[in-house]
Every structure is written in structure tokens, then in C-alpha cells.
């Protein structure tokens, strides 16, 4: 069974192809036979496409503004040249898409139909940097692969059990009835990391209190108790919560009122400022990439130092909120690009919580490998670095749906 995954993020797009040869879903993740990633942060209006297959790695510059325009070119590497891994597109059995916002309409992965596409489109105002790409990606797959089954796996689904006291905003109740509430995001990653943490620790997930830190260009925390998300930092949209690469995270809402009244800001201008020109990039004036910020800090750049200090402060502050929701902590998990690769971010974050008995081993932290425990032996809280595998998690959902709906016919 061949499963194609399309995972569109805010600064990168990842695609991969899995080949499942067994009648049973593997307990542990397997490697895809083909991967294609696009990084849009390198140059304005351009992307760097990297394709890996058959032991070969190829790079190419794409002069496309949108991922969907590049999909035919990307998919052709599946059937052509040295990265060819299938004879033709008919060999692809099912396609899985990461979809950021499913609202309250979908609490689990679902087969994509016109109605599902309509809901994803309707929710674009709530995830303006993601849901449009999802719709375009689904349509592009339809054009290239025809009627192949497509599955939407929603980032919001894992957080659907968050209690109402956490999900509701303290505004007039009628707005809650109209759907203005906290949904949470990065659910695919948070769920995968929670399950992986239980495997690493050889403990039942239902016995653990975890905080998972998904730190990439987009950032969020999740408080997970007995395998269920009970609180998270992102809310009505992916803008709430932590300071991020280009997103502000939570700010005083009266700032927006002030900008509208005093400077005639429009809704579109505010949206662009908060989602694309704020966060680490907005404060530093350098980059949304924390690696560039840390390099500038080492060179004595004041604004880079301020951006980094704010990033750590807000990460610690929100971690405190998750601790309060959990009423304790067994395991702290770092994942995604920054969480997996930045030793200094992990170090500075953990420093503030040593009073809990949480002790980071400096040697393990600086000479780390993924899917490992970097706490000291006597730490009362385990500290894990986990390589998030959203693509594999999506593939698992596709496998289940395909077997339920098609092989049973």
C-alpha cells in the first residue's frame, strides 16, 4: 500500500511516500521511500526543493509563489529520473493531508468530500496562513492524481476534549455559541509525541502527566493528562499563545483597538502584521529563524538579544500555565525544529523549573540525539527530545481509513 502525505506548514511544505507491505500497521514508524521538502524562508518568492529517494538527494530552486503550483513538478520526481520510486501515479492508493483547522466539525481524520473542502474553506479566516494552502493542495492532487482517495487529518482534533473552562473565552456567552472558542493546534504532533514519550519511558500513556513543547516557526504547548489534551496555548486561531517566528502570540487586544483608532489600521493590515511581521522576526528585525537570532546574539546585537530573551520568557510563562492545569508534571517534551535542535533554548527553558526537581543534564543536552531522555538520573521530571513524525501519524490515519472503507468492500 502506497500512501502519499502532503504536510503544508507556515514556512515549509513536506511531502513523502510510504510503502506499507504488511497487512498490519507497524507499531513503530517506518521510513518513507521518497521525500520532497520545500523551504520558503531562503529567499523571497522562491523555494528550495529537496528530493530524497533511492539514496540520492537533489536540490532545485522553485520560482513559484505557492506550493500548489509546484505540486506537479514535485510529484513528477516520483515517476521520473533517479528519484523514481513508482511506475506511475496509479500506484498511489491514498493521499493524506495535514489540515490545521477543522473547528468543531471534525474531531478525527476524515475522507475528503466536497462538504469537507467547504468546511476547510469556511475556516480560512481562523487559519489564514494554512487552510488556503490545504485547499489548494487538495485541488492540485485532484488535478494530477484524479479520483484517488484523500484524507484530512486535523491539527485541532487532538484538542477537542479540552474542558470548556479552558476552551471558552471570558466574553459574552453568545459568542461561544457562535463558535468563538479555543481550538488548539499542532495536535498531530502533540499526540504523536505523547505516545512516543510513553514508549520511550516504557510507561502507560494513561499514567502520565506531560507537557509537550512544539517549537518550530509556529509554537505551542499542550498539557496532556492520561493521554488526553486538557489545555494548550494556541486558541481560536494559531496566533494565540507563545511568541513565534513571525507571529506575535498573545498580546493585549486593546493594542489592536488603539491601532485602528489612532493609525487607521485595517483588518488585513493587522492580520499581516500579527501573523507575518511580528514574533522573533518583528522584534529582531533580522530573521524568523532562531539560528540566525542566536548567531546575532553572539555578535552582540541588542535587538536579537531582546527577541531571544522575550522568546524564552514567554515560553517559561506559558509553561507555568500548563503546569497549573496539570497539577504536576512527569515529563517535559521538546519537539519540532527549535525544540529538537536548539540546546540553548532547552537549557534556558529548564533553568526556571529547577525548583520542581527538574534537572537537565548539560552533557546530554549538548550532545543529544532524538527520542532520548536528557534529564539527570536524579531528576524528578524526565526531559525528552522527540523527533516529531507528523507524516507518519497522518499515514497511520490513512491506513486505517483505507482499510475500513475500501478493503472491506
Together in a domain, 212 and 149: no
Share of the chain above pLDDT 70, in %: 95
Q: Is residue 24 part of a domain?
A: yes
Together in a domain, 361 and 219: yes
Whether 407 shows a pLDDT value over 70: the answer reads no
Contact 3, 17 (CB under 8 A): yes
Residue with cell 530552486: 61
Average pLDDT of the residues in 348-357: 96
Residue range 369-397, pLDDT digits in tens: 889 999 999 999 999 999 999 999 999 99
* CATH number of the structural domain spanning residue 324: 3.30.420.40
Indicate the SS3 state at residue 74. Answer: helix
- Report pLDDT for 38: 82
Residue with cell 459568542: 175
Contact 231, 240 (CB under 8 A): no
Could you tell me which residues come within 8 angstroms of residue 296 by beta carbon, excluding any fewer than 6 positions away?
Answer: 284, 286, 304
Contact 291, 41 (CB under 8 A): no
Is residue 155 among the annotated active site residues?
yes
- Report pLDDT for 290: 95
Residue range 317-341, pLDDT digits in tens: 999 999 999 999 999 999 999 999 9
Together in a domain, 146 and 238: no
- Report pLDDT for 9: 59
Q: Is residue 399 part of a domain?
A: no
Q: Please report which confidence band the pLDDT of residue 21 belongs to, taking 50, 70 and 90 as the band edges.
A: confident
Q: Is residue 213 part of a domain?
A: yes
- Report pLDDT for 391: 92
Q: Containing domain of residue 19, as a range?
A: 2-154
Share of the chain above pLDDT 90, in %: 77
Q: Please report which confidence band the pLDDT of residue 342 belongs to, taking 50, 70 and 90 as the band edges.
A: very high
From 23, 115, 155, 377, active-site residue:
155
Together in a domain, 132 and 263: no
Whether 42 shows a pLDDT value over 80: the answer reads no
Q: Is residue 397 part of a domain?
A: no
Residue range 134-179, pLDDT digits in tens: 888 898 899 999 999 999 999 999 999 999 999 999 999 999 999 8
Together in a domain, 237 and 127: no
Whether 65 shows a pLDDT value over 60: the answer reads no
Amino acid at each position: 500500500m502506497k500512501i502519499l502525505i502532503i504536510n503544508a506548514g507556515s514556512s515549509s511544505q513536506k511531502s513523502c511516500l510510504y510503502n506499507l507491505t504488511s497487512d498490519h500497521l507497524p507499531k513503530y514508524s517506518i521510513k518513507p521511500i521518497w521525500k520532497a521538502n520545500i523551504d520558503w524562508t531562503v529567499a523571497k518568492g522562491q523555494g528550495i526543493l529537496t528530493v530524497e529517494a533511492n539514496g540520492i538527494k537533489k536540490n532545485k530552486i522553485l520560482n513559484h509563489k505557492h506550493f500548489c503550483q509546484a505540486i506537479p513538478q514535485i510529484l513528477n520526481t516520483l515517476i521520473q529520473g533517479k528519484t523514481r520510486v513508482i511506475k506511475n501515479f496509479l500506484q498511489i492508493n491514498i493521499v493524506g493531508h495535514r489540515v490545521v483547522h477543522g473547528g468543531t466539525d471534525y474531531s478525527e481524520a476524515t475522507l475528503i468530500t466536497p462538504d469537507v473542502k467547504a468546511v476547510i474553506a469556511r475556516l480560512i479566516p481562523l487559519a489564514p496562513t494554512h487552510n488556503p494552502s490545504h485547499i489548494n493542495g487538495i485541488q492540485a492532487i485532484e488535478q494530477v492524481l484524479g479520483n484517488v482517495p484523500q484524507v484530512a487529518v486535523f491539527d485541532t482534533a487532538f484538542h477537542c476534549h479540552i474542558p470548556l473552562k479552558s476552551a471558552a473565552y471570558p466574553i459574552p456567552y453568545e459568542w461561544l455559541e457562535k463558535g468563538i472558542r479555543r481550538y488548539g493546534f499542532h495536535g498531530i504532533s502533540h499526540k504523536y509525541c505523547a505516545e512516543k514519550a510513553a514508549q520511550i519511558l516504557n510507561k502507560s500513556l494513561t499514567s502520565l502527566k506531560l507537557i509537550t513543547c512544539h517549537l518550530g516557526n509556529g509554537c505551542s504547548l499542550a498539557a496532556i493528562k492520561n493521554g488526553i489534551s486538557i489545555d494548550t496555548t494556541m486558541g481560536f486561531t494559531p496566533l494565540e499563545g507563545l511568541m513565534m517566528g513571525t507571529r506575535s502570540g498573545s498580546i493585549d487586544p486593546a493594542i489592536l483597538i488603539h491601532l485602528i483608532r489612532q493609525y487607521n489600521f485595517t483588518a488585513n493590515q493587522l492580520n499581516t502584521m500579527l501573523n507575518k511581521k511580528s514574533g522573533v522576526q518583528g522584534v529582531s528585525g533580522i530573521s524568523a529563524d532562531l539560528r540566525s537570532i542566536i548567531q546575532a546574539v553572539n555578535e552582540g546585537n541588542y535587538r536579537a538579544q531582546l527577541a531571544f530573551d522575550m522568546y524564552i520568557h514567554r515560553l517559561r510563562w506559558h509553561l507555568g500555565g500548563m503546569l497549573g492545569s496539570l497539577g504536576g508534571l512527569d515529563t517535559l517534551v521538546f519537539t519540532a525544529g527549535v525544540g529538537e535542535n536548539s540546546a540553548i533554548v532547552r537549557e534556558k527553558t529548564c533553568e526556571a523549573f529547577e525548583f520542581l526537581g527538574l534537572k537537565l543534564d548539560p552533557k546530554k543536552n549538548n550532545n543529544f540525539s532524538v527520542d532520548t531522555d536528557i534529564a539527570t538520573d536524579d531528576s524528578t521530571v524526565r526531559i525528552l527530545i522527540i523527533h516529531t513524525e507528523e507524516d507518519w501519524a497522518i499515514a497511520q490515519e490513512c491506513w486505517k481509513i483505507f482499510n475500513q472503507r475500501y478493503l472491506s468492500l
